[in-house]
Amino acid sequence: MEYQVGKAGRVILAHFEDGDGIIGGLTDIVRKENIRACVFYLLGGITDGRIVVGPAQDDVRPPEPTWREIVESHETLAIGTAFWYGDEPRIHIHGTYGKFDSVMTGCLRDEARTFLVMEAVIIELEGIKAVRDLDPVVNMALLKLVD
């Protein structure tokens, strides 16, 4: 395990409206505000998205993802981070998505749209030096602490 100690910097509150892209909107804010590291919370409605709910079969590397579709409105509570991968911020979101008695938990990978409203609270992490770097074993851009 590795770790760094930082502190909370700027706090940004974002209101996504019906139909707004969630991952794209978060990426735009992080890029525009030049946020190099942050954690964020999402609360609201989501539709038209895809999540990964785990490896398809065995716990092999690289994992073969099992996908689930979010094809109609779902309530959402999620947490995520943003760190840069090269010249682009890379968003990572895990959340719970529910409608009536059906609830799914997973990693939101593809663009999804806001249903009615989505609130985002973005907390910049100051003093943290981290990036996303391609891990060849799992074939994903994972968090890497840098000196």
Instruction: Encode burial over 32-60: b for 16+ CB neighbours within 10 A, e otherwise.
Output: eeebbbbebebebbbbbbbbbeeeeeeee
Residue 119 belongs to a domain: yes
> Which residue in 78, 80, 69, 68 sits closest to 38, CA to CA?
80
Range of the domain at 56: 8-145
User: What distance in Å separates the CA atoms of residue 57 and residue 31, rounded to the nearest whole number?
Assistant: 36
pLDDT tens figures, 21-55: 999 999 999 999 999 999 999 999 999 999 999 88
Instruction: Confirm whether 17 is domain-assigned.
Output: yes
Q: Is residue 105 part of a domain?
A: yes
Report yes or no: 13 and 29 within 8 Å, Cβ to Cβ: no
pLDDT, residue 6, reads 98
Number of domains in the chain: 1
The Cα–Cα gap between 104 and 60 comes to 22
**Does residue 40 lie in a domain region?**
yes
pLDDT digits (tens, 9 = 90+) for 89-147: 999 999 999 999 999 999 999 899 999 999 999 999 999 999 999 999 988 999 999 98
pLDDT at 57 over 80: no
Cβ-based burial of 68 (10 A; exposed 0-12, middle 13-18, buried ≥19): middle
Structural domain includes residue 94: yes
Instruction: Record the pTM.
Output: 0.94
Domain containing residue 103: CATH number:
3.30.1330.80
Q: Is the pLDDT of residue 12 over 80?
A: yes
Mean pLDDT for 7-22 is: 98
Tens-digit pLDDT profile for residues 64-102: 899 999 999 999 999 999 999 999 999 999 999 999 999
- Domain assignment of residue 2, yes or no: no
Residue 121 placed within a domain: yes
pLDDT given at position 3: 97
Q: What is the Cα–Cα distance from 79 to 96, expressed in whole angstroms?
A: 9
Give the end-to-end CA distance of the chain in Å, rounded to a whole number: 15
Spell out the residues 6+ positions from residue 15 whose beta carbon is closer than 8 angstroms to its own.
117, 118, 119
What DSSP element (H or E) covers 25? helix 22-32
Separation of alpha carbons 62 and 10, rounded Å: 36
Does 14 fall in a domain? yes
